[in-house]
Amino acid sequence: MRNYCTPEDFDATTIDNCFESSCFHSCCGRRGPRGFRGATGPTGATGATGATGATGQCSCSCTSLGEQVENPGMEAVNNQLPVGWIANSTVLVTSTDAQGRVHSGQYAVNLKDNGRLSQFIDIQEGCFYAFSFFAKGEGQQIGLTASVIFRNDVGGELARDTITIRNQDTTTSTRSWGYYRILTKKAPLSAARAEIVFLADGLGEQSIDIDDVAFMQHR
């Protein structure tokens, strides 16, 4: 019997195996329990930053196109009407340059009761649009409805968004204008144009001034 152990002897897992290996039994018991794991060493230094990746490309079809209204500030005038706009009457809708009745520039447009002013704008289906304008009442009993109507290529209405200004909410101060804005719902499939429409609702000779209209595709 040997009184020493070789590395192969330490692989024996039972006393019987130890005796069979002819190893001195005092060095060949069962494997002892695993000791505690030592403390984790310090974190190594941060490696160098990798190269910047290529700039991503936007595949969005709804990108901002800028202002889409023709003559948004009502500055171009022909026969007392703003160019690019459709009026239902030259009596109920007229351009004005009176002091205190223009928000910016030299002209605004004035709508009397039942006066209607509109414009058609080519749009892209599936996109949102921001619509805004400034308005000021000439009298205490004048309101305004401003709408964006989405239409198909033959003029059929598909959807609309509306701003309603009640007469008691209309700004009437000589120096102050109200600012109104909405973000439309997504233009429906098959929508080809948007019609923006202003319709005044007042008593007697009271009227409302409109200026600086904006309509833009929203990203």
What is the per-residue pLDDT across 88-116, written as a single tens digit (0 to 9) for each?
999 999 999 999 999 999 999 999 999 99
C-beta of residue 96 within 8 angstroms of C-beta of residue 107: yes
What pLDDT, on a 0 to 100 scale, did the predictor assign at position 15? 47
Per-residue pLDDT tens for 173-214?
777 899 999 999 999 999 999 999 999 999 888 999 999 999
Are 147 and 133 spatial neighbours (Cβ–Cβ below 8 Å)? Answer: no
| Whether the predicted model's global pTM rises above the 0.75 cut | no
Domain regions of the chain by residue span: 77-218
Mean pLDDT of 153-161: 97
Token couple for 14: 């039972």
Q: What is the CATH number of domain 77-218?
A: 2.60.120.260
* Cα distance between residue 93 and residue 141, in whole Å: 17
Nearest to residue 67, comparing CAs of 109, 125, 137, 119? Answer: 119
What is the predicted pLDDT for the residue at 110?
98
